[in-house]
Amino acid sequence: MSQRILIAEDNKFTSMQYVKLLETKNHTVTVAVDGVECLEKYSASLKDESGDGHYDVLILDHSMPKKSGAEVAADILSLNPDQKIILASAYALSTEKHYSQLKDKVLFLQKPFQLTRILELVDNDPSKITA
């Protein structure tokens, strides 16, 4: 099933790898280059009354300019507690100040990982997945 995916990743090479992979499975992908732009795009999608603009999955890099992925995830979950979010990080997130509120609501993906892992997380029911 094709899904709408919002990626927040400041590394252009990494975001393009995600886009190429996800588009091979016919997903519709939007990219934001930092946490603030991600929140703007997400908020705009919520205003789409048809529901066609809503994102099925968000893939957030933890270390981004302006706002971290964990901060973005916390903000988005306050708007939509059921939003499926994948937070990718090369760092241990247990020290992140938002970790306790996110640990049961977000799929954490430790970098480095094989790109196919993104597809597994996007294409499967989040309740049956462990990152």
| H-assigned helices in the chain | 12-23, 35-46, 69-79, 99-102, 116-123
Give tens-digit pLDDT for 14-35: 999 999 999 999 999 999 999 9
* CA atoms of 43 and 76, how far apart (whole Å): 9
Task: Label residue 8 by pLDDT band (50, 70, 90).
Answer: very high
Q: What architecture is the 4-128 domain classified under in CATH?
A: 3-Layer(aba) Sandwich (3.40)
* CA atoms of 67 and 36, how far apart (whole Å): 6
Q: Is the pLDDT of residue 128 over 70?
A: no
What average pLDDT does the segment 106-130 reach? 72
Domain ranges for the chain: 4-128
Q: To the nearest whole percent, how much of the chain has pLDDT over 70?
A: 82
Residue 12: how many other CB atoms lie within 10 Å: 10
Among 26, 35, 31, 2, which residue's Cα sits nearest to residue 14? 31
Task: Label residue 127 by pLDDT band (50, 70, 90).
Answer: very low
